[in-house]
Chains A and B, each alone.
Chain A
């Protein structure tokens, strides 16, 4: 059991990890990288069935027990059912043919899903305003710097900023191009090195949390 739960997964992780690193430097093996990527897509497609089962099971239990908000779970079933039906019907060609351009599935995507996504995305504008209102209060030195930088950036990006002071847009540009870029690159440097260290720990079996259970 230990072999299946620990030894085999760790060996696979080591082998695949080393191949992944070496294919970056060995051109002859680059086809292997594409093969692995294809295998990953196939595995992901099958694993999606797990996710669909989890989703439907969770919402079915909510409907069955009449948990608060069970109506939303009913919507999940209605939405899933309709989408599946349209996808399977495929504008009369059924599911063995490539997806039709003008079918019901495309209609639902274009006129239901995309507007809903756009609506969610547009809420961000209001959330940014409320987050800014809460955060930009000069209580600490850092907050003061953040407030001043944010005000200068916002003014520098709108026409009235240039009207107030003609150098403001240039200053806003400099703020993004120099201090902000420096901070971003500093974070990226740390993230890159941290990524290498974590990857090495996973490849050599030092980090085992992803296997589930027991100490890392």
Chain B
């Protein structure tokens, strides 16, 4: 009898402990998922003290409070904490005590063998229940919470980006206004742009054409717009010097814009008769076909000057090395950092990254354009300061600046 009693007393805590594993969490809440186009509901709940590897939470959703409820999401007790999604829930210390689940779809039995997936609809009220399971037993919350998914008007996770972008834009516009009053702003020498005049003069003396090569990007690329700007200046000079200009593109819209720019440049220079639309052409639409066409042209026509401006890919070395082999003076400008080394080694002058964007301001010397360059430089100085400060503070364990500049 005493042995039986001893066995019971030993087993009783184990049984009690096994029964206490499945505790229902508290503070169960449902709300519209933030920062999205709608179609998601977020459920959050406080973790319990009895979580373990076998414990998981199941979120069920219904279209009416009475049900039926369908399984929508499952979260293991060791994952799905609010700390895992700082973009949505912030970085409060208490986030480590809460779980979350996003509900976007749920499966409804269509027939005995198939399930139909339904998506959460915007604006409709849904009812959600949370249950805890260890694989063998399931305990469900007695009451449901409700929420509806809505499309949000602002993505709060991008607030830091919005503030920085707006500040930088205001800075640039302010400097443009300042530059209108004080037009004598300093801009450092850019050798590649100064050399354009020399290169065009060389082509004129040799009686050979100038070949202007656009990159592979379309008209929506900033580097192409910058290249078109430079093309306008080059065309004006070639019209004045009566030098042949060939412009190659691989995009029809860039070709149309380039034709217009060159035509207007020749008109401005008083040489509309010298303009030939066939000299501004689309060589090919495919990358290596473009390179092959231009290499053939360089080898046959042997231009004295090659100007390569825009966004380039692997064809950059093919073009520049062929140009170097025929003895042409080459000026390249690209914002593609992977191709810069090839241009630097094969071309006489290279405009790197933002030097290409600065071309319009450098060549025109207009106060409005110079002012934007100034604003850009101040913005860069600010970012460098933040980089240095942020690195120092992060090394010391303070990540505030890092979080402030994290992009989501």
Contacts and interface: CB of A to CB of B under 8 A. Distances in A.
A17 B380 CA distance: 23
B242 to A, nearest CB: 21
Interface in A169-216: 184, 187-191, 193-202, 204, 206-207, 209-210, 212-216
Contacts of B253: 44, 47, 50
A194 B153 contact: no
A200 B172 contact: yes
Contacts of B85: none
B87 interface: no
B358 A132 contact: no
A209 B229 contact: yes
A117 interface: yes
Contact of A123 (B318, B369, B372): B318
A215 B366 contact: yes
Nearest to A51: B252
Contacts of B261: 209, 212-213
A158 to B, nearest CB: 19
Interface stretch (A23-31, A85-93, A94-102): A23-31
Given A26-B153, A51-B252, A131-B342, A213 B267 contact: yes
Contacts of A58: 278, 281
Contacts of A194: 222, 335, 353-354, 357-358, 376
B228 A135 contact: no
Main SS class of interface, A: helix
A207 B360 contact: yes
Contacts of B252: 44, 47-52, 54
A216 B268 CA distance: 13
B58 interface: no
Interface string A24-64: 11111011000000001000100111111011011001000
A21 B162 CA distance: 10
Given A72-B296, A131-B346, A187-B353, A51 B225 contact: no
A24 B285 CA distance: 31
Contacts of B190: none
Interface in B1-59: 35-38
Interface in A140-171: none
Contact of A27 (B35, B173, B260, B337): B35
A132 B341 CA distance: 11
A28 B123 CA distance: 13
A196 B169 contact: yes
Interface residues of B, number: 84
Contacts of A207: 225, 229, 360, 369
B314 interface: yes
Nearest to B35: A27
A24 B158 contact: yes
A124 interface: yes
A24 B220 CA distance: 17
A200 B372 CA distance: 9
Contacts of B283: 55
B292 interface: yes
Interface string B349-367: 0001110011010001010
Contacts of A15: none
Contacts of B364: 215-216
B189 to A, nearest CB: 17
Interface string B282-302: 111111110110001000100
Interface in B240-261: 251-253, 255-257, 260-261
B314 A124 contact: yes
A204 B173 contact: yes
Nearest to A213: B264
Given A207-B225, A215-B364, A127 B317 contact: yes
Contacts of B286: 113, 117
Interface string B364-387: 101011001101100110010000
A130 B321 contact: yes
Contacts of A213: 260-261, 263-265, 267-268
A128 interface: yes
Interface string A95-118: 000000000000000000100110
5 contacts: A26-B154, A51-B285, A188-B337, A196-B165, A209-B232
Given A27-B38, A195-B335, 13 more contacts: A40-B220, A51-B285, A55-B282, A55-B284, A116-B292, A127-B318, A131-B342, A134-B346, A190-B354, A193-B354, A193-B376, A196-B168, A198-B357
Q: Which 4 A-B pairs have the closest CB atoms?
A: A213-B264, A51-B252, A212-B260, A194-B354
Interface of A: 21, 24-28, 30-31, 40, 44, 47-52, 54-55, 57-58, 61, 68-69, 72, 113, 116-117, 120-121, 123-124, 127-128, 130-132, 134-135, 184, 187-191, 193-202, 204, 206-207, 209-210, 212-216
